Each structure stands twice: as C-alpha cells, then as structure tokens.
Amino acid sequence: KIYLDYNASAPLKPEARDTAVAALGIGGNPSSVHQSGREARAIIERAREDVAILVGGRTQDVIFTSGATEANNLAIRGFVPEGEPRRVIVNGTEHPSVLEAVGDAEHLPVKADGVVDIGFLQRMLADRDWRNCLVSVMAVNNETGVVQPIDEVVAVAHAAGAKVHCDAVQAAGHMPIDMLERGIDIVTISAHKMGGPRGVGAVATGPGVALNAIIRGGGQERGMRSGTENPAGIAGMGAVCASAPSYGPNVAKARELRDRLEVALRETIPASVIVAANSPRVGHVCCVALPGVPAETQVMMMDLEGIAVSAGAACSSGKIKTSHVLREMGLGDDISGSAIRVSFGWNSRDEDVDGFLEAFHRMAARIGS
C-alpha cells in the first residue's frame, strides 16, 4: 500500500500514539479537583504549551477545539459578538470551513498563480466605513500547496485597522508560523494534518483579540469552548507539536520526492498539467491534472492499485465536484475536474514515488492519455 494523501490526513506519528494512549488511561475529568482530574488537567496544560510554541503564540491564548473546522468557525464567527456590526473578508481559495463560516463574507480573489491579490485587498480596505473587520487568508492551500504572503496581508490589514485570521492547518509542522512575531491575530491548526489524532485542533489568539464563544455551556477552555476536553486527543496533538522542529529533514525529503515526481510526470506524460507549478509552493504537494479524465476516475483507478491520493479536497465527504480552488485560479473544468492531489509527509519514501509513477503510467495508457 502506498499512502500519498497526507494533506487529507497524515498517518499517526508514534509519539502521538504513545502519548494519546497513555492519556486515555487517565480516568478523571480535567475540571475535577481530585487527583485523577488534576492529572488529566496537567496533560492538557502541557499540550497547550507545546501548541503555543509551535504557533509562536502565548500559552494562555490557545483554545482546544474538535478540529480546524470548529477552530475556523470560532475564529470567524466568534470575532465579534452576535448581532454587532462587522465585516469579514475571505480569500476565495480557503477551506469550506472558512468560506462558509458566515453567510455575508466578502470575496478576496486570487491571481492566476493562486496567490491572493494584495492590491485588491488594499482597495477593499480603502473604504474605511466599517467597524470590526477580519481578513481571513490561509498560510498554505490544501489542494495546490500555494503559499500565501501572510506578512503582506498583515501589513495591509493592520494599516487599515483590520485584523487577520490565518488558517495554518497545512503549514503547521512544515514551516514556522511565528504568529506573535509576524503580528497574525488569530491562527487555527488541526492535529491530524501533522501526524496527530483526528478530531482535535486549536485556535490561538494574539494580543487584543477576544473571541466570543460559539459553543456554550460549562465554561471549559476559559469559557471559549464548553464541553469536557478530550485529553487523549489533546495530548497527541501536543506530542506532534513538540516534535515538529524535527520535521526539518522530513520536509526536505518530501520536497525531493515531490520534485522527482513532477520531473517524471512532465517527461513521460506530456498531456499532464502540473497546477501552480511556478507559484510559491510548499514542497510536499503536487496537484496534477490529466485533462479529459475525471479526477474521481483517477482516484478510483489508483486506489485499485493500492495507492491513496485524492481528488482536490478529499475531506469533503465523497462529494464529486470540480475544485473551487482551481476554478478561483481561473482554470477551466477540463483542469479543475481532472486534477488529483498527491501529498507527501513525515513517513514518505522513495518507493512511494516509484509505485505511484508505475500505476499512473498504467492508468494513463489504459485511458489513452
């Protein structure tokens, strides 16, 4: 079996498994004052520090959630209390959990290379007839690997008095986030994209940002996210965050594998189109289209060969549709409907590329591409 779908979910890292399993054995409720409660609490607080270090934020400003979907909803819907005036501007290639967090978000377009149009943002913000404005731009796109110029977004937004939310799900563990140093106001991450458990994520806020809870109840997580915490998931997330600096060699390895894959695709399958090939991109993602062959067909044929890849964003529960990310970049249905995503990570090997290429060639030959 060959796993090349890290951007959908990375395999669990051994340290995350060990830490999570140990935490599962602790019986207490983290809010209880007795000893087993305090043990569970200690696990959560330790993980909170590890998350804060990874994002470059303050420990007390990290809020654990059920994943990045909830984290993005909290970041955006919680930015201003319900009913108060606010303005939300979102980049058009965001994950649906950002795009759909509020119904009245304004659309920030990307250029043909997939990078947000900073001049457009500047013009949007020139009209200062609003209060409480949030600009949401992701660090790295999940489908194409395109890296957004977050420092420029922060500079333009702050100059106009707006704040910045950055979905750093696909950047975490691959590059430094440094939120305080760079002035990013709200960062969201997810454990399972970095080799942690699924179903746990976090929001980290910077100075001067006070979110409003969207899940209310017992007041856990400083009232920001009620509900008994998930110590095992949180512990596993802390463990991957703590080991992230050791990702260095893995990051370089992933880039080497991705580059070799793309060179081979260009040389041997001239019909293939590598999306965002000349854009600023992370090293572990290859988005490749085989025009005329539906992405779903490719994914199924590769699966029959024992190879896991995805069509655009795999996380959207088996929906068959063309990629909104590629359409935003101005690509037609021939590309956006026929693009698959190959993504590498901490445990990727040379054999994965070899196996993928063999199977891809067999598929292309069978289809006549």
Catalytic residues: 315
Q: Is 97 in the site for ligand PMP (CB under 6 A)?
A: yes
| Cα–Cα distance, 171 to 145 (Å, whole number) | 9
Work out how close the CB of 365 gets to ligand PMP at its nearest, in angstroms, rounded to a whole number.
32
User: What is the closest distance, in whole angstroms, from the C-beta atom of residue 97 to ligand PMP in the complex?
Assistant: 5
Assign 3-class secondary structure to 125-157: HHCCCCCCEEEECCCECCCCCEECCHHHHHHHH
Angle at 26 (CA atoms; ends 18, 216), nearest 5 degrees: 105
Helix (H), strand (E) counts: the chain: 13, 13
Q: Does residue 179 contact residue 204 with C-beta atoms inside 8 Å?
A: yes
**Stretches 68-76, 266-274, 301-309, 349-357: which one binds ligand PMP (CB under 6 A)?**
68-76
88 belongs to the binding site for ligand PMP (CB under 6 A): no
Which of left, alpha, beta for 56 (phi over 0: left; psi -120 to 50: alpha)?
Answer: left
Binding residue for ligand PMP, selected from 50, 167, 328, 352, defined by CB under 6 A: 167
Q: Is 315 a binder of ligand PMP (CB under 6 A)?
A: yes
| Residue type for position 138 | M
Query: Whole-number minimum distance, CB 267 to ligand PMP, in Å?
Result: 30
Contact range with ligand PMP by CB under 6 A, out of 23-31, 101-109, 155-163, 165-173: 165-173
142 near ligand PMP (CB under 6 A): yes
Is the Cβ of residue 289 or residue 315 nearer to ligand PMP in the bound state? 315
Question: Which of 169, 326, 339, 342 lies at the binding interface for ligand PMP (CB under 6 A)?
Answer: 169
Indicate the residue among 170 and 323 with the shorter CB distance to ligand PMP: 170
Contacts of 270 (CB under 8 A, 6+ apart): none
- Smallest gap from residue 170 Cβ to ligand PMP (A): 5
- Provide the minimum distance between the beta carbon of 90 and ligand PMP in the complex, in angstroms, as a whole number: 12
Structure tokens given for 50? 């590890």
Q: Is the dihedral of CA 329, 157, 140, 9 positive or negative?
A: negative
Of residues 148 and 272, the one with the C-beta less far from ligand PMP:
148
Count of residues that bind ligand PMP according to CB under 6 A: 15
Please give the Cα distance from 161 to 143 (Å, whole number).
31
CA 99 to CA 185: how far, in whole Å?
18
Binding site for ligand PMP (CB under 6 A): 67-69, 72, 95, 97, 138, 142, 167, 169-170, 190, 201, 313, 315
